[in-house]
Amino acid sequence: MFRWRDAWRRWRNQRLSDPAFRERAMASWWGRRAARRSAARLFDVVAGFVYSQVLSACVELDLFERLRGGPVAAERLAAETGLDPAAMQRLLGAGVAIGLFEPTSDGRLALGPLGAPLVGNAAVLALVRHHGAFYADLAEPLALLRRAPGGGRVAAQWPYAGHAQPQALDGASVSAYTELMAASQPLVAQLLLDSHPFERAQRLLDVGGGSGRFLMAAARRAPGLELHLFDLPAVVARAAPALAAAGLADRVRLHGGDFLRDPLPQGMDTATLVRVLHDHDDPEALALLRRVHAALAPGGVLLVAEPMAGTAGAAGMADAYLDLYLWAMGQGATRSAARIGELLAAAGFEAVRECPTALPLQARVLRAHKAGLSNNRSEVGVKTS
Ligand X SMILES: CC(C)=CCC/C(C)=C/CC/C(C)=C/C=C/C(C)=C/C=C/C=C(C)/C=C/C=C(C)/C=C/C=C(C)/C=C/CC(C)(C)O
Ligand Y SMILES: C[S@@+](CC[C@H](N)C(=O)[O-])C[C@H]1O[C@@H](n2cnc3c(N)ncnc32)[C@H](O)[C@@H]1O
Q: Which does 229 bind (CB under 5 to 8 A by kind): ligand Y, ligand X, none?
A: none
Q: Which does 78 bind (CB under 5 to 8 A by kind): ligand Y, ligand X, none?
A: none
Closest distance of CB 325 from ligand X, Å: 6
For residue 209, state whether it binds ligand Y (rule: CB under 6 A): yes
CB-CB contact of 227 with 251 (8 Å)? yes
Phi and psi torsions of 51, nearest 5°: -60, -45
Q: Which residue is nearest to ligand Y (CB)?
A: 208
Q: Which does 209 bind (CB under 5 to 8 A by kind): ligand Y, ligand X, none?
A: ligand Y
CA distances from 101 to 72, 96, 266, 270 (A): 11, 5, 52, 44
Stretch that binds ligand X, among 73-81, 206-214, 218-226, 325-333 (CB under 6 A): 325-333
Q: How many residues does the chain have?
A: 385
CA 90 distance to own-chain centroid: 31
For residue 101, state whether it binds ligand X (rule: CB under 6 A): no
CB-CB contact of 115 with 67 (8 Å)? yes
Pick between residue 101 and residue 177 the one whose CB is nearest to ligand Y.
Answer: 177
Q: Which does 120 bind (CB under 5 to 8 A by kind): ligand X, ligand Y, none?
A: none
Q: Which does 225 bind (CB under 5 to 8 A by kind): ligand X, ligand Y, none?
A: none
Closest distance of CB 51 from ligand X, Å: 12
Annotation says 278 is catalytic: yes
Burial category of 67 from C-beta neighbours within 10 Å (exposed 0-12, middle 13-18, buried 19 and up): buried
Build a one-symbol-per-residue string for 244-263: x at contacts with ligand Y by CB under 6 A, - elsewhere.
--------------xxx---
Tell which one of 67, 100, 183, 232 touches ligand Y (CB under 6 A). 232
Restricting to residues 41-80, name those near ligand X by CB under 6 A.
none
Question: Which segments of 90-129 are extended strands (E)?
Answer: 101-103, 109-111
CB-CB contact of 91 with 58 (8 Å)? yes
Pick between residue 35 and residue 176 the one whose CB is nearest to ligand X.
Answer: 176
CB-CB contact of 249 with 227 (8 Å)? no
For residue 275, state whether it binds ligand X (rule: CB under 6 A): yes
Tell which one of 34, 57, 124, 240 touches ligand X (CB under 6 A). 124
CB-CB contact of 254 with 236 (8 Å)? yes
Closest distance of CB 52 from ligand X, Å: 10
Select from 248, 241, 240, 244 the least CA-distant residue to 217. Answer: 248
CB-CB contact of 171 with 232 (8 Å)? no
CA distances from 53 to 92, 147, 231 (A): 13, 25, 34
Pick between residue 78 and residue 193 the one whose CB is nearest to ligand X.
Answer: 193
CA distances from 265 to 231, 268, 371 (A): 12, 8, 19
Site residue total, ligand X (CB under 6 A) = 12
The CA-based angle 218-224-227, given to 5 degrees, is 50
Catalytic residue among 196, 255, 278, 293: 278
Footprint of ligand Y (CB under 6 A): 160, 166, 181, 185, 188, 208-210, 231-232, 235, 258-260, 274-276, 279
Q: Which residues bind ligand X (CB under 6 A)?
A: 117, 124, 127, 158, 275, 278-279, 322, 325-326, 329, 359
- Active-site residue set: 278
